[in-house]
């Protein structure tokens, strides 16, 4: 093991340069203009896996390709499926970036680039750990199956059926995912819960054309106005969501879990200050940390309608729209929630408004019993690499395919996030801390050793 760690430490510069290289490819999955960049990134990963002698292929899908690699050189040892995603979020608003998102910039020990933390800089450590094992021992202590997708940020529409149809090919003893993060710097955590998601766009249509707001306003229903009122009515004064049956399946927190939340190091004042907000809103009866990961939410991610250009224009717009994400917790069902959303919005719509709904993506929430030996191995790997005991925490974000893996492959999922809470995922100036990255490679290498020791 020391030799493997020594090998990893000696190669830090190379490890950094390779990640920078991958970060230069603008693999934005949601934007058709980047289709070629998606293929280039898949090729880049394929070339790397093949250079390690790992038999690999690019699997085309109806959307972006899956990169698949398989190392079966560990005989009877357990098989670990390593999942990650090579796609990234769009970069807007571009003017708020301090350096261009696809020209990675290293400042103050951090790499600034879109995808630096989500997920290229968390996925790549696993490839580099495999490389180090092979360089030192010519073998890896576990069998590995790499599944690297290009559609996580758009809800994994093609990976989900792929997993369902390829249970044998993907059969494994545990699934390793680095696509989350530490609870705080110096506080590594293994994630035991993720929220699910129902994302719906709603379009409200009123009159058959834009109208003069003076000549028609007052009698004709204004879709922007109507939509604003409808959206506002989706929460009550206690910040509870008013959709019918929304909370019916929500698993309540046990006292033990609530105590666990209380024991986490969290300074609410510092949190507010770091975000530049004077106050917080949230469901009554729950602490901020509980609201952030154990309770469901409904958020407006975008809302539009009418005139938004320079100056003023008096207009009664013909339509308005909103994009709304709902984060779900066990045992809520994305389809049921989507149906309840539609029902409630139709009930709230005033006369003269027609509604259209577009469901963008869904994903089931995820919660594991954290007693698997693979979870213990993940915790121990983090402790060995970062020198701190790892906690078990729940996250507010979603990785839709995690529940599909868990259900289809019947194996425990180890969510060994390597990011930090201030990495600014999905925001301008996304970054990855270099120390997290380099130690992350060590953690991945430790995990391979520890998992290899788990008897089948």
Q: Rule CB under 5 A: which residues touch Zn ion? A: 118-119, 179
**Residue number, 119 or 380, with CB nearest to ligand BES:** 119
Closer residue to Zn ion (CB): 141 or 400? 400
Per partner kind, with CB cut-offs from 5 to 8 A, the member of ligand BES, Zn ion, none near residue 363 is: ligand BES
113 binds, among Zn ion, ligand BES, none (CB under 5 to 8 A by kind): none
Helix (H, G, I), strand (E, B) or coil at 231: helix
Rounded to a whole number of angstroms, the minimum distance from the CB of residue 397 to Zn ion is 8
Q: Mask of contacts with ligand BES, 269-308, x by CB under 6 A?
A: ----------------------------------------
Closer of 155 and 188 to ligand BES (Cβ): 155
User: Among residues 195 and 344, whose Cβ is nearest to ligand BES?
Assistant: 195
Q: Where are the beta strands (DSSP E) in 130-173?
A: 143-149
Q: Does 430 help bind ligand BES (rule: CB under 6 A)?
A: no
Which residue is associated with the tokens 């073998």? 139
**Counting contacts by CB under 6 A, is residue 118 touching ligand BES?**
yes
Length of the chain: 456
Q: Which of 197, 231, 318, 345 binds ligand BES (CB under 6 A)?
A: 197
Q: What residues contact residue 230 under an 8 Å CB cut-off, 6+ apart?
A: 204, 345, 348, 349
Residue 363 CB, nearest distance to ligand BES (Å)?
5
Which residue's CB is nearer to ligand BES, number 164 or number 347?
A: 164
Taking residue 103's Cβ as centre, other Cβ atoms within 10 Å add up to 12
Q: How far apart are CA 5 and CA 426, in angstroms?
A: 32
Per CB under 6 A, 225 contacts ligand BES: no
CB of 395 to ligand BES, least distance (A): 4
Report d(CA 452, CA 357) in Å as an integer: 49
Looking at the Cβ atoms of 121 and 305, the one nearer to Zn ion is: 121
279, burial (CB in 10 Å: exposed 0-12, middle 13-18, buried 19+):
exposed
Is residue 400 within the footprint of ligand BES (CB under 6 A)? yes
**Residues 6 or more apart whose Cβ sits within 8 Å of residue 354:** 204, 205, 206
- Residue pointed to by tokens 């920078």: 20
Residue 37 interacts with, from Zn ion, ligand BES, none (CB under 5-8 Å by kind)? none
Residue 196, token pair as written in the block: 């699910």
Does position 152 interact with ligand BES (CB under 6 A)? The reply is yes
DSSP 8-state assignment for residue 390:
P
Establish how many alpha carbons lie within 13 A of residue 250's alpha carbon, considering only the half-sphere containing its beta carbon: 19
Binder among 41, 158, 160, 180 for ligand BES (CB under 6 A): 180
| DSSP one-letter string for 327-377 | EE-TT--HHHHHHHHHHHHHHHPPTT-EEEEEEEEEE--EE--TT-HHHHH
Give the shortest CB-35-to-ligand BES separation in angstroms: 19
Residues that bind ligand BES in the complex, under the rule CB under 6 A: 118-119, 152-153, 155, 179-181, 197, 361, 363, 395, 397-400, 425
């Amino acid at each position: 093991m020391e030799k493997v760690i020594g090998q990893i430490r000696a190669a830090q510069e190379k490890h950094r340069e390779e990640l920078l290289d991958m970060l230069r490819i603008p693999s934005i999955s949601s934007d058709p203009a980047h289709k070629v960049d998606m293929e280039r990134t898949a090729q880049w990963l394929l070339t790397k896996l093949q250079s390690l002698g790992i038999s690999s292929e690019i699997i085309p899908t109806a959307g972006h390709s899956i990169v698949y690699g398989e190392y079966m050189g560990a005989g009877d040892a357990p098989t670990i499926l390593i999942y990650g995603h090579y796609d990234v979020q769009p970069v807007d608003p571009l003017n708020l970036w301090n350096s261009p998102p696809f020209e990675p910039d290293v400042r103050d020990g951090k790499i600034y680039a879109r995808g630096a933390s989500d997920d290229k800089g968390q996925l790549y450590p696993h490839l580099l750990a495999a490389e180090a094992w092979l360089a030192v021992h010519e073998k890896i202590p576990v069998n590995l199956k790499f599944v690297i997708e290009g559609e996580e940020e758009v809800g994994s529409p093609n990976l989900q059926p792929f997993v369902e149809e390829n249970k044998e090919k993907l059969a494994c003893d545990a699934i390793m995912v680095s696509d989350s993060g530490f609870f705080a710097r110096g506080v590594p955590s293994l994630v035991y819960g993720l929220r699910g998601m129902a994302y719906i766009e709603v379009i409200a249509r009123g009159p058959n054309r834009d109208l003069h707001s003076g000549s028609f306003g007052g009698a004709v229903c204004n879709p922007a106005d109507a939509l604003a009122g409808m959206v506002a009515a989706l929460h009550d004064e206690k910040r509870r969501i008013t959709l019918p049956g929304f909370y019916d399946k929500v698993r309540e927190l046990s006292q033990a879990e609530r105590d666990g939340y209380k024991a986490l190091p969290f300074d609410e004042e510092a949190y507010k200050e770091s975000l530049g907000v004077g106050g917080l809103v949230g469901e009554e009866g729950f602490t901020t940390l509980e609201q952030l990961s154990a309770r469901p939410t409904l958020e407006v991610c975008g809302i539009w309608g009418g005139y938004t250009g320079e100056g003023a224009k008096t207009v009664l717009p013909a339509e308005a729209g909103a994009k709304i994400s709902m984060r779900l917790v066990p045992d809520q069902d994305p389809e049921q929630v989507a149906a309840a959303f539609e029902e409630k919005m139709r009930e709230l719509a005033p006369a003269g408004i027609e509604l259209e709904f577009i469901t963008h993506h869904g994903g089931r929430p995820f919660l594991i019993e954290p007693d698997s030996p693979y979870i213990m191995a993940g915790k121990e790997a983090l402790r060995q690499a970062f020198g701190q005991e790892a906690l078990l925490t729940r996250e507010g974000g979603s990785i839709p395919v995690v529940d599909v893996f868990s259900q289809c492959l019947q194996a425990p999922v180890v969510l060994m996030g390597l990011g930090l809470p201030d990495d600014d995922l999905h925001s301008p100036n996304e970054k990855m801390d270099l120390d997290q990255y380099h130690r992350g490679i060590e953690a991945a290498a430790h995990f391979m050793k520890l998992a290899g020791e788990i008897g089948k």
